[in-house]
Amino acid sequence: MRSLVAAVILLAAAVVDTGTASAADPIYQDPSQPVAARVADLLGRMSLDEKVGQMTQAERNAVSAADLTTFRIGSLLSGGGSAPSPNNATSWANMYDGFQRAATATPLGIPLIYGVDAVHGHNNVVGATIFPHNIGLGATRDPALVQRIGRATAEEVSGTGIDWDFAPCLCVARNDRWGRTYESFGEQPEIASSMTTLITGLQGAKLSDPGSVLATAKHYIGDGGTTGGDDQGNTQISEAELRAVHLPPFREAVARGAGSVMITYSSWNGTKTHGHKYLITDVLKNELGFSGLVVSDWNAIDQIDGQPGFTATEVRTAINAGLDMIMVPAEWRSFITLLKAEVQAGRVPMSRIDDANRRILTKKFELGLFEKPLTDRAFTPSVGSAAHRQIAREAVRKSQVLLKNQNGVLPLPKTASKVFVAGKSADNIGYQSGGWTLTWQGGSGPTQPGTTVLQGIRSAVSASTTVTYNRNGTGIDGSYQAAIAVVGETPYAEGAGDRTGGMGLDSEDLATLATLRASGVPVVVVLVSGRPLDIAAQLSGWHALVAAWLPGTEGNGVADVLFGDYRPTGALPFSWMQSASQQPINAGDGKTPLFAYGFGDRFPATQNAYALIGASYYDEQRGTQVERCTDSGCGQNVGYLTPGDYVAYADVDFGATPPTSVVTRLASGSTAGGTLQYRLDSPTGPLVATVPAASTGGWQAWTSRTATASGATGVHRLYLVATGGTGGDLANVNWFQFAR
């Protein structure tokens, strides 16, 4: 290909990067002319071959540079995992420029438009920033953040030359069995509608601005409503429901100026949408006023008649229904031949061909491709930049949904002496990124540069904290402050991701969790998944549950919430089933969920001093350790406090009236003697109470001691400090509770 590209460079020079036009140039080559005038002028100069070529989109691996020039092909795409070698931003830019030079080496010099599925960042490119999938962004309820993600994605896409993004997916997923649920912002249309800010981020103030790319609202319409959650299935609902649930996000996308719309594979009441003139022309183009280009999905016109191999009838039906560009990755020659014959036979009117070309060419002019068809290399260094990764980390932490937090186990203390981490997804960027990451179905392992959840945990804790990782939980004992289990689904994309049977955790995850629970250590479950899972039967055995969705490359955003640098703010974008048998389950359908749509727990602003506070739920410590109590139901205790050791508890609220006493549950086998002191705001702060740390007869011989308390009102950091004695261990503490 490269030798041919070199041969056509001189011919292409007349139409590449000129930026200006002389008085003798055609109107379409004059950037000072209105876009409509330029389109009309160019359209009048085009042959049928050129017009049909503009309506053709081929896969990069199925064409040569000579094909682009000879057949006047208007568009290329990279399918999932289709990339140049080596796969890096510069290679992509070089590939794009080579194709673009070939496309413009024609008498009319019409540039191509190149599309990719950059659905959570520029996910086909090694080194790109991978943002959370849409389900996580829906949990943020933050349209402004999503707009910034759109802008960051557009810059990375632009830096590789690409000018068209097949995003955002505005599907409203109504059955979690669907393998594309994670591509949905949520089960209600208002979430997807609000997140159309991604379009604004991708396209910028105007398409010709540097770093702007064409956005695609997909998949029109009803793909999230198929019976049984069947991918590419049949959406069997009334028109009223179609309009109420599935149309609003597209209406909002059109209002925001989305440049393109992609049609869904699925059917509406038995009719494939790719051949549905009412939905495409009457509703989308006429009723909603969509003036951009309508593109098919991958080989989707071949499904119109339900038989393999697309036919002249399918081509005619799709174009007459209102499709403007057809994605025919490998069979583009056949498509060109069939469409041309249909036009010549009068079965596809030339007015329809001209309308399609007018829409396509308008976007190419608006993008500035005629003046600057080659990669804007100023954006190439932005691919995977630190600034974009910071946005992704922010998105990850805002997407975390806290579903359970028994006894306030979260946030975990950064100063814990020991934390155990387990689970197959804890140290696997491929798993935490999900499908549509480098390959269509996603992968396992270090598929992209970034930070795993485990690495995020290691960087969050203090230098003195030991973090032990074992995938299956082997090696855990009762001496750990907590066990963090990062479990859930392995990657998948459409089709392969449909779950027609059970929707629970796999056998490996269940075995890992059983091992952790047997240790007696509080279990914190971080669920990495593309949808709610059937976990009700296991939930009672977990102290905390966080839905992390598919966070992408910045796993440190998960640790930001686990260790309290940021409080959880996420809210469920889907109703969480009590069991898979409830599917489909959606707000307002009368079914009782395990967790309701919109639910998201929060860390309490304060702790109640007059409620029982577990000693092991500290957030700061010096010199202490935890161990498993031997008493039945005792849980964990802070063990072997030595004079000078302390534990601290944030935001303990004593109210307006000071306490009069405190009960401390402790055990001691010490002969040293000493005291446990409660102090405010620092280890040497105002003294509230003093408890004798005399022997109880053994380190697990528990007794409750009551001491006088006074002088504490309002909210304080409370310190429990070991003091006195002769330097030996003084006591273990299980819990304490103030009274007044």
**What DSSP string describes 609-641?**
TTS-EETT--SEEES-EEEE--STT--EEEEEE
**Within 46-142, where are the H helices?**
48-54, 65-71, 89-103, 134-140
Region 348-353: mean pLDDT is: 98
pLDDT (0 to 100) of residue 8: 34
214, 203 Cβ separation under 8 angstroms: yes
Averaged pLDDT, 616-636: 88
- Please state which architecture CATH assigns to domain 607-739: Sandwich (2.60)
- Lookup: tokens for 304: 């119109």
Say if residue 25 is exposed, middle or buried (CB neighbours under 10 Å; 0-12, 13-18, 19+): exposed
- Residue 61: CA count within 13 A, CB half-sphere: 9
Chain-centre distance of CA 339, in angstroms? 39
Using the predicted structure, report yes or no on whether residue 17 has a pLDDT greater than 50: no
Q: Tell me how long the chain is.
A: 740
- pLDDT, one tens digit per residue, over 642-664 is 999 999 999 999 999 999 999 99
Question: What is the pLDDT at residue 407?
Answer: 87
pLDDT, tens only, 115-159: 999 999 999 999 999 999 999 999 999 999 999 999 999 999 999
* Mean pLDDT across 291-304: 97
H-helix or E-strand spanning residue 158: helix 143-158
CA angle in degrees (0–180, nearest 5) for 578-579-580: 140
Give Cβ neighbours of residue 588 (< 8 Å, ≥ 6 apart): none
| Average pLDDT, integer, range 526-531 | 98
User: By mean pLDDT, which of 539-548, 588-597, 634-643 is the weakest?
Assistant: 634-643
Q: How many CA atoms lie within 13 A of 212 on its CB side?
A: 20
Model pLDDT, residue 3 = 36
Distance of alpha carbon 320 from alpha carbon 294, whole angstroms: 12
**Where is 454: in which H helix or E strand?**
helix 453-460
Average pLDDT over residues 493-519: 97
User: DSSP 3-state assignment of 224?
Assistant: helix
DSSP state, 45?
A: H
The residue-averaged pLDDT of 589-612 equals 97
With a pLDDT cut of 90, the percent of the chain lying above it is 93
Residue 739, helix vs strand vs coil: strand
For residues 533 and 545, the answer to whether their CB atoms sit within 8 Å is: no
In this predicted structure, the answer to whether residue 9 has a pLDDT above a threshold of 80 is no
CA distance 21 to 473: 69
Nearest to 102 by CA among 39, 164, 58, 40: 58
Residues 6+ apart with CB under 8 A from 355: 324
**Active-site annotation holder among 117, 142, 297, 729:** 297
Contact, 405 vs 141, CB < 8 A? no
What homologous superfamily is domain 400-582 in, according to CATH?
A: Glycoside hydrolase family 3 C-terminal domain (3.40.50.1700)
The chain-wide mean pLDDT, for the chain, equals 95
Q: CA-CA distance, 31 to 8, in Å (whole number)?
A: 24
Give the 3-state secondary structure of residue 602: coil
Share of the chain above pLDDT 70, in %: 96
In the chain, where the domains are located: 43-382, 400-582, 607-739
297 labelled catalytic:
yes
| 420, 480 Cβ separation under 8 angstroms | yes
Q: Is the pTM of this model over 0.75?
A: yes
* Least confident segment among 95-99, 240-244, 245-249, 632-636: 632-636
Question: For residue 725, what pLDDT is reported?
Answer: 75
CATH for the stretch 43-382: 3.20.20.300
pLDDT of residue 16: 40
Band of pLDDT at residue 718, cut at 50, 70 and 90? very high
pLDDT of residue 727: 67
